[in-house]
Amino acid sequence: MLNKQKANGKAIGASCRHSGRSLEDCFRRNGKVAKADIFAGWKEMNEYMQSKKINEVAPPPDVKTGSLSPIADLDSSMPASQAAEASATEKAAKH
């Protein structure tokens, strides 16, 4: 079981590096995974990408659940009524 967790952490770190995410962002997104394993995978992928001259691949946009829009999540000082309005405006703009 321990080797599977370590391999999972390395895979997460490698995918973060390949997508251009910083280590800090990767740690934050994967709080239950050992930081040492994430770092090992990130570092290994970084060295591989540099040696093969591989460019980063942009990650897909984050999918948020709940009623708040990503804009409201970034600005936590925004009142709930403004956040709901921003969310509604964002949804209307998409249609």
Supply 50's token pair.
Answer: 């540099």
Residue with the larger pLDDT of the pair 64 and 33:
33
| 31 CB burial (10 A radius; 0-12, 13-18, 19+) | exposed
Cβ atoms 37, 3 nearer than 8 A: no
Determine phi and psi for 9, rounding to 5 degrees. -60, -40
Per-residue confidence (pLDDT) for residue 58, from 0 to 100: 87
Contacting residues for 50 by C-beta, under 8 A, at least 6 apart: none
pLDDT tens track for 44-66: 999 999 999 999 998 878 777 65
